[in-house]
Amino acid sequence: MKTIKTALLLTALTLLLIFGGEAIKGPMGMTIGLVIAIVMNGVSYFFSDKIALASSHAQPVTREQAPRLYAVMERLAGKSSLPIPKLYVSPQPAPNAFATGRNPHHASVCVTAGLMQIMDDEELEGVIAHELSHVRNYDILTSSIAATLAGAVTWLAEMGRWGLIFGGYGGGNNDDREGGGITALLMLFLAPIAALLLQLGISRQREYQADASGANMVGHPYGLIKALEKLEAYNKQIPMQISPSASSLCIVAPRLGRNFFASLFSTHPPLDNRIEILKKMQITR
């Protein structure tokens, strides 16, 4: 069901680009915006792992340095028939973890020192299973596609606003300036907001999916539930130093706000919702 919702959100984002682009800048503008977004997000896709790891000050660790982490990772990767990702530890005290990399053969998983200190083996297993699920489900690729489409829509709207400043409506059909102009004006302001909300919706669905896939990978949701409960408590107290773009990769959003608008524009669903869904899971073998 979560996969279907993600597909529907990606379809809606694509349609927004097609029809919004036509209204704002016409077919040529839509094509240029898409090409620019693909180039920008292509760079991010291939180098996102280096950016995220560098921003969190993560360092690679050996089996001798982190035997417990390696033991859990090797067991779950073997169980899921996945290559073992490169393992990193960030020295930060805020407990968190993230996976990055463009596919299972170019994946990295990073945990913070704070997470390793507070998690028992069952909780650590739940966290690692969640991150491996992101790798197995190609969530970095899905997020990159969503970012590409949303970036193209935002670029078109920005160009349309500049067109208004210099005397044009930005519509693609000069023979229908009245209807196209009104549509273009609405799209200039509404399309970027809609694109952002759709992109956030995709990110949240991938978190729900990783929770479910991780629980199935382990065979029960209890370790992940306890881990999320701990992360919620500690996350309120200890800030994490990481770039905003990389923070969306974390298992819980660093510095997550508690007001309505912060939750509305968060890349992660509310932890209470995630925990409640996991408690209701029924895993059959």
Q: By the 8 A CB rule, do 94 and 253 touch?
A: no
For residue 266, give the nearest of 258, 276, 277 by alpha carbon: 258
> Is 131 annotated in the active site?
yes
Task: Write down the residue that tokens 């660790």 correspond to.
Answer: 61
The dihedral through the CA atoms of 120, 137, 153, 52 has a sign that is positive
- How far is it, in rounded angstroms, from Cα 123 to Cα 206? 20
**Farthest CA pair distance, the chain:** 71
Q: By the 8 A CB rule, do 159 and 170 touch?
A: yes
Token pair recorded at residue 49: 């792992």
Helix axes 177-218, 2-24, angle to 10 degrees: 160
Residues 6+ apart with CB under 8 A from 59: 88, 89, 90, 91
- How far is it, in rounded angstroms, from Cα 242 to Cα 257? 16
Q: Which of 22, 123, 125, 131 is catalytic?
A: 131
Residues 6+ apart with CB under 8 A from 174: none
- Looking only at the bridges linking them, the beta strands covering 108-112 and 86-90 are parallel
- How far is it, in rounded angstroms, from Cα 192 to Cα 202? 15
Q: Which residues are catalytic?
A: 131
